[in-house]
Structure formats: structure tokens, C-alpha cells
Chains A and B, each alone.
Chain A
Amino acid sequence: MQKSITSFFKRK
């Protein structure tokens, strides 16, 4: 499964 980058880096 491809994870999203936003699941690692939170929105500022």
C-alpha cells in the first residue's frame, strides 16, 4: 500500500 507523505509530515 502506498502511504501519503502527509501521514509523515504534518501540515504547518
Chain B
Amino acid sequence: MFEARLGQATILKKILDAIKDLLNEATFDCSDSGIQLQAMDNSHVSLVSLTLRSDGFDKFRCDRNLSMGMNLGSMAKILKCANNEDNVTMKAQDNADTVTIMFESANQEKVSDYEMKLMNLDQEHLGIPETDFSCVVRMPAMEFARICRDLAQFSESVVICCTKEGVKFSASGDVGTANIKLAQTGSVDKEEEAVIIEMQEPVTLTFACRYLNAFTKATPLSTQVQLSMCADVPLVVEYAIKDLGHIRYYLAPKIED
């Protein structure tokens, strides 16, 4: 028996919005420690890794490890039927071929449930090696989304250059060149507005805008985003999900032809 309950459907809606542009379907691996999802996008350029800890749920029970392959388009249709403040419960029997998603209004006067067919997906888990990153940048998630959106107008690629002074995002194309520099913030009143750079050595890497923009669909989950970079290894873009876990996106760099 698997049962996981969250106080607000809005969190699940935001999580789904953060992955459904990259993934058509995905397997949710459930165990007593929580829910994990790891999947590559169709073109195998990026990897999504979602961790939801069991202690972050209002109720969590998982008697036996369970892998639930879900069509994310179908899940989106179901979540559209929930009000943001509704409680949401996911339930499945051991070895079931369906999952039930139930919404309850705050006053318990409306209860709806949706049974969704599960899929058998070919799971390909990748081993992610530990990396000592050269640069780790923490910045407001909205600012990162804005920069990715703005630079995508100018080029398919964005160059991220990080030094101890700051981080520079550049794009160059037919229109010309765009550069956006962010300096490390001195003192800020609000932690969520800070730009913080931890640098071992400077790094310059090139990434496809289209994927960065897909990652920023996670912006509503978190006030801050963390970018971890190292020469010739995938970028890690991490959004914390408060009291519940995190979503990490890995993006392979572009290299000169």
C-alpha cells in the first residue's frame, strides 16, 4: 500500500509544471524515504531529478517499493481539476496498474477522486558522479528566469562566465551581442534577493537557451536557484522545494564544433 498526502495541491501542480515541458512521461519511484524521479528529456541532453522526502508530506506510507510510470499529460489533466488549497492524496495498492489521486476541499465538503492508468516505462537510471564544482552561484530564481528569457531572443546559446567578481550571461547572434552581469551582493535585507558566488576557479561554459528556459518553469517553487558549474561537466540547476525536497536539472554543455 502506498499513500502520500500533501496539504496543498498547488505544490504538486507547480512540480508538474516544472517537469512536463521536458518529459512526456516519467516513473515515480516510491519508497519509505519518499518519492524520487529521474528522467532524461527526449533528446537526452538534459536530466531531471526530483526528490520529495517522506517527512515533507502530511501523511506518507509506502509498505513496499513501488515504481509508478505516469503519463504527465494525463496527470496535468487531473491536477487541473484541483483547487490550489485542496488537500491531495495519491494512493496505490502494491503491484497495482492504477494510481488514485484524491482532492479534498479544506472544509471537506467536496471530495473528488481520479483513477489514472500507470505505464510500464523503460527505466534508464543514470549514475551521477560526485563533482567538486568550480563555481556555485545562488541567485533569485525570478532573476535567472528573466535573464534566460531575455537572452533567448538573441541566440540559441548562452555563455555563462563566472568569476569571483560576479557572473556574466552572454548571447550573441544576428541582432548583435547581449551581456548581463550580476555582481555578488554585499549586504541584503532579504536573503532571497542575494546573489552569492562560491568560486574555486573561474569557469566559462555554453548552454542551450531552450533547456535553461524549460528549467525556469520551476521558478514558482523557490525564491532562489543554485547554479553549479565546472569545466566540461553538466550544469546543475537546483530549486529547493521548501520542507519537501528539491528538483535538479542537469544540462550537458555545448562544445565548439
Contact = CB atoms under 8 A, between A and B. Distances in A.
B45 A9 contact: no
B77 interface: no
Interface string B242-255: 00000000111111
Interface of A: 1-12
Contacts of A11: 124-127
Report whether over half of chain B's contact residues are helix, strand or loop; otherwise say mixed: loop
Contacts, number: 49
A5 B47 contact: yes
Contact of A6 (B44, B129, B233): B44
A7 B129 CA distance: 12
B126 A6 contact: yes
A5 B127 contact: no
A9 B128 contact: yes
A7 to B, nearest CB: 7
Interface residues on B, range: 20 to 34
Contacts of B219: none
Given A8-B233, A11-B125, A1 B252 contact: no
Contacts of B40: 5-6
A1 B213 CA distance: 19
Interface in B145-204: none
Of B44, B129, B257, which is in contact with the most chain A CB atoms at under 10 Å from its CB? B44
Nearest to A12: B125
12 contacts: A1-B257, A2-B208, A2-B254, A3-B254, A4-B44, A5-B44, A5-B45, A5-B251, A9-B128, A9-B234, A9-B250, A10-B126
A10 B194 CA distance: 35
